[in-house]
Amino acid sequence: MDMFLSGAAAVLNPECILYIFFGTVLGIIFGAAPGLNTAMAVALCLPITYTLSAVNGVSMIMGLFIGGVSGGLITAILINIPGTAASLATTFDGHPMAEKGQAGKALGVGIVFSFLGTILSMFALIFVAPLLAQFALEFSSVEYFAIAVFSLTMMATLSGDNLKRGLMSGLLGWVIAMVGTSPIDYSPRFTFGFLSMEAGFSMISVLTGAFAVSEVMKSALHRTDLKKDDFHDFKIKGFGFTMKEFVSQIGNGIRSALIGIAIGILPGIGAGTANIVAYGAAKNSSKYPEKFGTGIIDGVVASETSNNASVGGALIPLLTLGIPGDVGTALMLGGLMIHGIVPGPLLFVTNGELVYSIFTALFLAAIFMLVLEFGGMRIFIRILGVKKYILMPIVMILCCVGAYGANNRVFDIIWLGIFGIIGYLLSKADFPVAPMIIGYVLGPMAETNLRRALMSSEGSLVPFFTSPIALVFFALTIVSIVMTILRARKGAKQTA
């Protein structure tokens, strides 16, 4: 309890609150605008966070994520384009509602349930994370290796319909992470004699290169400018919906939140999957499934509750085990590491206050999101009209500042550009880029723990088969691989 109070106190000061506010605003804008993503928003903010205290920096990033996941609903409802994959299912019913003249109601429902989804997942985080961390304290490198291997199989779920290419992209990410000195014995690997390569590539260069810089190139061909006239007009009175409508959605909201939390916890999938699954579940368990897609609030509730709930869920493995679930959390991991914070069970012991600061920041970000989206909707629509040809070059130069700031090396700026081009080449050749990030982050974790475990067992493989937890994860790995292969076969048969 003491920790909770002092953690909360660290956030509740005007400076930190301002950073969260700023983060949420930026998150909403980047989440709402098609062609801009949360990775870019984080890239823009990283240079600022370098100079902030850990609490302020991390709090701002929390604002970015909550805003980023929720912001997509604005464009999804008002112009039928999801700002991010997290709001794809919101377009199914949100836009038909807008066409029926219920845009205000759709927005109101979406915003309120985004808020509730965040809050529910925050409670899950507060209760589950410390318990899991306690449990994970017992883990040795054997268990960590098993968890890393299991999480690596999740590259497959991020691969979309091309499994082979997805896995190759993941392995390529792992190769990128191998450049530099090896774990344990610090042998230089693939540095080609360059001293500057020995520290390896900075995580910021790789992540913002592949996800922000490559978008600058993409925007040259795919123009996604929005005009003010594209947006549906709307009116919101109060929350935009009645108490009766709210009560009718409580069950749907809770189910969708639970789906979001569970999907968030699983490595490899996040808000982008949660909204689709929750929408499907809401439709299947509805008394009037035929009405889905025609513009009913149930669809908006399912999508928007679950995508925000997945944020809290994704933070659970990130904070307790240091395992990022998707690109967003991988960036968050990068942001934490800049501040010298290494997520893992020890974080709860050595830096418990910070964990509670994160919880508090999440809560504040959710409130800001609620207030901003209700009060500032028209301002956001104006901002979304800013031309991409102005925005994208600014994104690029700020990415540069971000890459440079991590180690004060021009080397990192150069590789930022190169990884941008690699990311673009991969997506041009239909290789999904998301698995690359998972390979990049989790590959080294698997190698380090495998070698550490073998050192302490003096080369014996026996400990890998005597640890019950490791065995569970190895079994899950096999299940995951078999399921992936079966699914791929089924998919191939269907297309044949």
CA distance 181 to 179: 7
Residue closer to another protein, measured from CB, 151 or 303: 151
Residues 123-182 that bind another protein (CB under 8 A): 164-165, 167-168, 171-172, 174-175, 178, 182
Integer-rounded Cα radius of gyration of the chain: 22
Residue closer to another protein, measured from CB, 32 or 212: 212
CA distance 157 to 24: 29
CA distance 104 to 240: 6
Residue closer to another protein, measured from CB, 413 or 471: 413
Residue in 58, 125, 112 with CA at minimum distance from that of residue 311: 125
**CA 137, 140, 145, 150 torsion-angle sign:** negative
What tokens appear for 74 in the block? 């604005």
Interface map 371-390 toward another protein (x if CB under 8 A): ----------------xxxx
CA 112 to chain centre: 21
Determine which residue in the list 146, 416, 441, 445 makes contact with another protein, applying CB under 8 A.
Answer: 416
Give yes or no for a contact between 365 and 117, defined as CB atoms under 8 angstroms apart: no
CA distance 49 to 59: 10
Determine which residue in the list 2, 51, 244, 375 makes contact with another protein, applying CB under 8 A.
Answer: 51
Determine which residue in the list 34, 200, 313, 443 makes contact with another protein, applying CB under 8 A.
Answer: 443
Give yes or no for a contact between 141 and 452, defined as CB atoms under 8 angstroms apart: yes
Determine which residue in the list 5, 12, 137, 414 makes contact with another protein, applying CB under 8 A.
Answer: 414
What tokens appear for 372 in the block? 């901003």
Please identify, among the stretches 112-120, 256-264, 325-333, 421-429, the one whose residues bind another protein according to the rule CB under 8 A.
Answer: 421-429
**Does 495 sit near another protein (CB under 8 A)?**
no
Determine which residue in the list 76, 364, 454, 470 makes contact with another protein, applying CB under 8 A.
Answer: 454
**Does 195 sit near another protein (CB under 8 A)?**
no
Give yes or no for a contact between 150 and 434, defined as CB atoms under 8 angstroms apart: no
Cβ neighbours of 364 (radius 10 Å)? 23
Q: How far is the CB of 131 from another protein (least distance, A)?
A: 33
Q: How far is the CB of 226 from another protein (least distance, A)?
A: 14
- Give the DSSP letter string of 28-77: HHHHHSTT--HHHHHHHHHHHHHHS-HHHHHHHHHHHHHHHHHHHHHHHH
Please identify, among the stretches 3-11, 153-161, 253-261, 409-417, the one whose residues bind another protein according to the rule CB under 8 A.
Answer: 409-417
**Does 392 sit near another protein (CB under 8 A)?**
yes
How many Cα neighbours within 13 Å face the side chain of 280? 7
Please identify, among the stretches 29-37, 100-108, 188-196, 376-384, the one whose residues bind another protein according to the rule CB under 8 A.
Answer: 188-196
**Does 421 sit near another protein (CB under 8 A)?**
yes
CA end-to-end span of the chain:
59
Determine which residue in the list 50, 281, 386, 488 makes contact with another protein, applying CB under 8 A.
Answer: 50
**Does 489 sit near another protein (CB under 8 A)?**
no
Label residue 115 exposed, middle or buried (CB < 10 Å: 0-12, 13-18, 19+).
Answer: buried
Please identify, among the stretches 14-22, 45-53, 96-104, 259-267, the one whose residues bind another protein according to the rule CB under 8 A.
Answer: 45-53
CA 487 to chain centre: 25
**Does 217 sit near another protein (CB under 8 A)?**
yes
**Does 464 sit near another protein (CB under 8 A)?**
no
Count, residues near another protein per rule CB under 8 A: 64
Give yes or no for a contact between 278 and 246, defined as CB atoms under 8 angstroms apart: no
Q: How far is the CB of 17 from another protein (least distance, A)?
A: 19
The site for another protein (CB under 8 A) is made up of 47-48, 50-51, 164-165, 167-168, 171-172, 174-175, 178, 182, 184-190, 213, 216-221, 387-390, 392-394, 396-398, 400-401, 404-405, 408, 410, 413-414, 416-418, 420-421, 424, 428-431, 443, 446-447, 450-451, 454-455, 459
